């Protein structure tokens, strides 16, 4: 193992090597079974005599920290110690005050027998064998070498494939030059924020709404204002007159689920043109539409160049692939590409190339058709049960797309407490209250059906009913 040793001066070199190896063993950086560098190699790197290193190893061996194996080397023994390294002294470095109100969620290692959590697609439906074949095809010397540090923000083949795919499936007007591939939709929003948001910029978000963009724009110094939504979507008349950016989920409002009506879409675009604001359209799961006419994207209705369209493949494929994209008016392309460059240069090229082939071979369209049928079965079963067995408790919000639905409580019961109690029964779901921006409102539940098999839905809902 390559092990770092730093020698100061020329005094007691053996002791310095001994202390640093011992400290690494005690705090767990070197674990039982790890090999130490050969004494000759370490002496050469440190520019000291081999006997200096050998003497340190002998002392460590005598004290039981390491053991020498003839012909094999020197290895760490099982010591029973596993303490974390001591933190650096002092606490003088402080983040900006905005980070006192924003924190990353703790790792969610919870597993639920009945998993109704939102935003989790069914990984068992993913074509792993096909994907492995496509990815393996990219890991060749010729393909990887041709893409090294080419400076392009997006893989050309994927940009062209995405433009065709969303043009056909979502009626989005775009060419390959319009497409900017990102590490998920959240990075797309980050790039938009970097280009538009200055300290004090007023940003409007749906209330209730997705918390990720809200925290992101706040971290960039924006003044984020929650705007209520009704049965037709965001209430345009409630938008702040000085808002310069509006974030919306018009095809399947998150978390309530209703689509934005066509008159409301036109009102929003008219408002953006009058005020000079940009509208960020997050179309995060509209591939899964089960009934009703397809919803016309704001981007397709926009004739004044006010809409930036954000898409994600996390719900369609797997969240762990971290592949998203944005489409912006031509005037914004240079700035957005520059923002992408200074952020991380480009997204993983082999994954982009594999996805391009996945789309071009018709595999993405086939996968969407297959998963849509399965998700519709789950959607319909949950919707029917809510209408029949929960009619005295929950009022479902009509929704005909996506991987989740919402329902209001008919009374004002504590939805966070309900979430806590059902988790104890092995049922995972979300409360509506944490998605609110501006304070109290109707309480309710957000019920996902991407991760739960159809065979478990009835029992999961029975347990929910028993808790509420």
Residue 436 belongs to domain with CATH number: 3.90.1150.10
CATH of the domain at 286: 3.40.640.10
Which residues make Cβ contacts (< 8 Å) with residue 82, sequence separation at least 6? Answer: 27, 28
Tell me, yes or no, whether 380 lies in a domain.
Answer: yes
Tell me, yes or no, whether 84 lies in a domain.
Answer: no
Tell me, yes or no, whether 100 lies in a domain.
Answer: no
If asked whether residues 329 and 298 sit together in one domain, one would say yes
pLDDT in tens, 116-164: 999 899 999 999 999 999 999 988 756 665 555 555 678 899 999 999 9
C-alpha distances out from residue 79 to 14, 66, 159, Å: 22, 9, 54
Tell me, yes or no, whether 376 lies in a domain.
Answer: yes
Length of the chain: 468
CA distance 215 to 213: 5
How much is the mean pLDDT over the chain?
Answer: 90
If asked whether residues 306 and 351 sit together in one domain, one would say yes
CA distance 120 to 138: 27
Domain count, the chain: 3
CA distance 327 to 157: 16
pLDDT at 156: 92
**On the CB side of 339, how many CA atoms lie within 13 Å of its CA?**
20
Token duo for residue 241: 């007159």
CA distance 230 to 207: 10
If asked whether residues 324 and 298 sit together in one domain, one would say yes
pLDDT at 186: 94
pLDDT at 161: 96
Tell me, yes or no, whether 88 lies in a domain.
Answer: no
Q: Do 459 and 147 touch, CB atoms closer than 8 A?
A: no
Q: Of the candidates 26, 21, 29, 114, which has an alpha carbon nearest to the alpha carbon of residue 74?
A: 21
CA distance 467 to 149: 56
CATH of the domain at 46: 1.10.10.10
If asked whether residues 344 and 262 sit together in one domain, one would say yes
Tell me, yes or no, whether 396 lies in a domain.
Answer: yes
Which residues make Cβ contacts (< 8 Å) with residue 112, sequence separation at least 6? Answer: 423, 426, 427, 428
pLDDT at 144: 63
C-alpha distances out from residue 14 to 26, 34, 67, 450, Å: 18, 21, 18, 60
Last residue of a domain, one of 334, 364, 394: 364
Tell me, yes or no, whether 107 lies in a domain.
Answer: no
Residue numbers of the chain with a pLDDT score lower than 70: 1, 79-91, 141-152, 292
Token duo for residue 451: 């991760």
Last residue of a domain, one of 304, 334, 364: 364
If asked whether residues 358 and 376 sit together in one domain, one would say no
pLDDT at 397: 94
pLDDT at 148: 52
Last residue of a domain, one of 310, 335, 364: 364
Handedness of CA 188, 192, 194, 199 (dihedral sign): negative
Token duo for residue 218: 């706040």
If asked whether residues 277 and 141 sit together in one domain, one would say yes
Tell me, yes or no, whether 7 lies in a domain.
Answer: no
If asked whether residues 360 and 344 sit together in one domain, one would say yes
If asked whether residues 322 and 418 sit together in one domain, one would say no
If asked whether residues 374 and 356 sit together in one domain, one would say no
If asked whether residues 330 and 354 sit together in one domain, one would say yes
Q: Of the candidates 468, 423, 409, which has an alpha carbon nearest to the alpha carbon of residue 115?
A: 423
pLDDT in tens, 54-106: 999 999 999 989 998 888 889 998 766 656 556 656 667 888 888 888 888 77
Which residues make Cβ contacts (< 8 Å) with residue 89, sequence separation at least 6? Answer: none
pLDDT at 82: 58
If asked whether residues 167 and 285 sit together in one domain, one would say yes
Domain that holds residue 63: 13-76
**pTM for the model:** 0.84
If asked whether residues 328 and 443 sit together in one domain, one would say no
């Amino acid at each position: 193992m390559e092990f770092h040793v730093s020698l100061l001066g020329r005094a007691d070199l053996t002791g310095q090597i001994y202390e640093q190896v011992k400290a690494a063993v005690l705090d767990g950086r070197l674990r039982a079974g790890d090999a130490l560098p050969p004494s000759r190699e370490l002496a050469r790197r440190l520019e000291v005599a081999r006997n200096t290193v050998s003497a340190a190893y002998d002392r460590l061996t005598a004290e039981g920290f390491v053991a020498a194996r003839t012909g094999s080397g020197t290895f760490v023994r099982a010591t029973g110690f596993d303490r974390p390294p001591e933190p650096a002294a002092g606490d003088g470095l402080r983040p900006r005050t905005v980070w006192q109100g924003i924190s990353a969620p703790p790792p969610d290692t919870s597993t639920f027998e009945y998993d109704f959590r939102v935003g989790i697609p069914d990984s068992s439906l993913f074509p792993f064998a096909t994907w492995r074949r496509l990815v393996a095809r990219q890991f060749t010397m010729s393909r990887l070498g041709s893409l090294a540090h080419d400076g392009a923000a997006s893989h050309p083949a994927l940009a062209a494939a995405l433009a065709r795919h969303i043009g056909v499936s979502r009626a989005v007007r775009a060419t390959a030059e319009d497409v900017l591939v990102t590490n998920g939709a959240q990075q797309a929003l980050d790039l938009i924020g970097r280009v538009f948001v200055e300290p004090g910029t007023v940003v409007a978000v749906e209330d209730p709404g997705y918390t990720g963009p809200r925290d992101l724009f706040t971290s960039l110094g924006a003044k984020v204002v929650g705007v209520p939504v009704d049965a037709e979507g965001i209430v345009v008349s409630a938008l702040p007159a000085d808002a310069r950016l509006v974030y919306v989920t018009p095809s399947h409002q998150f978390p309530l689920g209703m689509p934005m009506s066509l008159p409301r879409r036109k009102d929003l675009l008219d408002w953006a043109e009058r005020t000079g604001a940009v509208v960020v359209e997050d179309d995060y799961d509209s591939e899964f539409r089960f009934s009703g006419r397809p919803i016309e994207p704001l981007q397709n209705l926009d004739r004044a160049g006010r809409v930036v369209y954000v898409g994600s493949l996390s719900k369609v494929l797997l969240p762990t692939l971290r592949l998203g994209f944005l489409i912006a008016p031509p005037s914004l392309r240079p700035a957005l590409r520059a923002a992408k460059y200074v952020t991380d240069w480009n997204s993983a090229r082999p994954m982009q190339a594999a996805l391009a082939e996945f789309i071009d071979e018709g595999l993405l369209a086939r996968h969407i058709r297959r998963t849509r049928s399965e998700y519709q079965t789950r959607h319909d079963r949950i919707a029917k049960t809510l209408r029949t067995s929960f009619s005295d408790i929950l009022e479902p919000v009509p929704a005909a797309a996506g991987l989740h639905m919402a329902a209001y409580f008919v009374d004002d019961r504590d939805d966070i407490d309900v979430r806590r109690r059902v988790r104890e029964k092995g049922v995972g779901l979300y409360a509506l209250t944490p998605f609110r921006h501006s304070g109290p409102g109707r309480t309710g539940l957000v019920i996902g059906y991407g991760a739960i098999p159809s065979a478990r839905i009835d029992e999961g809902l029975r347990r929910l009913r028993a808790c509420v």
